[in-house]
Amino acid sequence: MSEPTLRETERHDVQQDGDDILVKQAAESMAAEIGFDESASAEIGIVAVELASNVLKHAEGGELALSQLTDGDRVGIRIESFDVGPGIANVDAAFADGASTAGSLGGGLGAVNRLMHRLTVAAPGEPDFGTKVVADRWIRSDHETTADCPLSFGAASRPAADETVNGDSFVIKRWDDQALVGVIDGLGHGSDAHKAATAATEYVETHYDNSITAIFEGAERACRGTRGVVMALARFDWTADTVTIGAVGNINYKTSEGSEVTFIPRRGVVGGDGPEPKVRESEWHPHDRLVLFSDGIESHWDLSAERGLSRESATVTARRLLDQYSKPHDDATVLVVSNRVEAE
């Protein structure tokens, strides 16, 4: 991933009450000039006031820098905050939902993480060196499809038998000539698992066009303060005939016979200092089929032995596998990707 170019940087001192409002107005103005719509500009203003409020709360003052970003055809905005003083003592806590700074409009660094496409934080490492936060947001280009999607997507999910909420979740997101799918499993089950899975799902669905590594990085922060999740994501590009997959934790997968699709899950928990996923790209062939499933599904079955797959849609296959192989006392999710020509 190339480093974007910064242009037209504005620097604003943050030393006293009221400076955060001035920075908010400046950020909204720059965002509008760059081309963000009214809603996005308002969200960028929230990020600016949140970061400025953090400076006032956790340090003796500091500075915010607003810059226009360019990266090829993409344009966006970068907001950087610099503390002078001890900085944020507990960065992890600042990402938890509800950890809002006094008088701000957001929800702590968690709000910044949700509203921006990429966020990096340098925590205090020496005396009198504060926290540096860098937050980027890009203008999303209009979706442009150049080739019909040849794939069929289907998913089925249910909570454990004794629960009313599901601690599992899934994502199916299509745009341009690509799609992102994923299975997300909150640790345990019940309301706490559901809260973790929801936090991860919301982040993935609003950052779907980031790199898989960047999505895991943001989901790690989005799940702070929850039990955490295990997660597998797969991005399909049908103009390149590829699928790119990354996973952390025990999300299982099966592929059709002869498929070259493979990935290596890494042990860990997203939201619990989980590792960076090993992201692997594979060729996707016309007769390939991929099944992702949570640990609420039995793993001792052979996809190639399942009858009728070539006549079933991905949705029908997902529901059938859930019915046949789910464990009653655990949340269970199955997601299937196949080729439309084969399945329909």
For 151-343, CATH gives: 3.60.40.10
* 45-72 pLDDT per residue, tens: 999 999 988 888 777 788 999 999 998 8
Q: What is the pLDDT of residue 295?
A: 95
Q: Which candidate, 261, 256, 255, 264, places its Cα nearest to that of 243?
A: 261
Q: What is the pLDDT of residue 202?
A: 94
Diameter of the chain measured on Cα atoms: 69
Neighbours of 89 (CB within 10 A): 11
**CA–CA gap between residue 67 and residue 121 (Å, rounded):** 17
Q: How confident is the model at residue 320 (pLDDT cuts 50, 70, 90)?
A: very high
**CA–CA gap between residue 26 and residue 34 (Å, rounded):** 12
The residues facing 154 across adjacent strands are 336
For 5-138, CATH gives: 3.30.565.10
Q: How confident is the model at residue 8 (pLDDT cuts 50, 70, 90)?
A: confident
Average pLDDT of the chain?
Answer: 87
Q: What is the pLDDT of residue 155?
A: 97
Mean pLDDT of the 201-226 span: 94
Q: What is the pLDDT of residue 192?
A: 96
Whole-number percent of the chain with pLDDT over 70 = 87
Domain ranges of the chain: 5-138, 151-343
Q: How confident is the model at residue 157 (pLDDT cuts 50, 70, 90)?
A: very high
Global confidence as pTM: 0.83
Q: What is the pLDDT of residue 105?
A: 39
The residues facing 107 across adjacent strands are 109
Q: What is the pLDDT of residue 89?
A: 59
Lowest mean pLDDT among 112-116, 251-255, 279-283: 112-116
Mean pLDDT of the 158-167 span: 94
* 128-155 pLDDT per residue, tens: 557 788 999 999 876 676 788 999 999 9
Q: Say yes or no to pLDDT of 99 above 60.
A: no
Angle at 324 between CA 322 and CA 328, to 5 degrees: 70
Between 157 and 102, where is the model more confident?
157
Q: Say yes or no to pLDDT of 213 above 70.
A: yes
Mean pLDDT of the 185-193 span: 95
Q: How confident is the model at residue 2 (pLDDT cuts 50, 70, 90)?
A: low
Q: Say yes or no to pLDDT of 103 above 60.
A: no
Between 236 and 95, where is the model more confident?
236
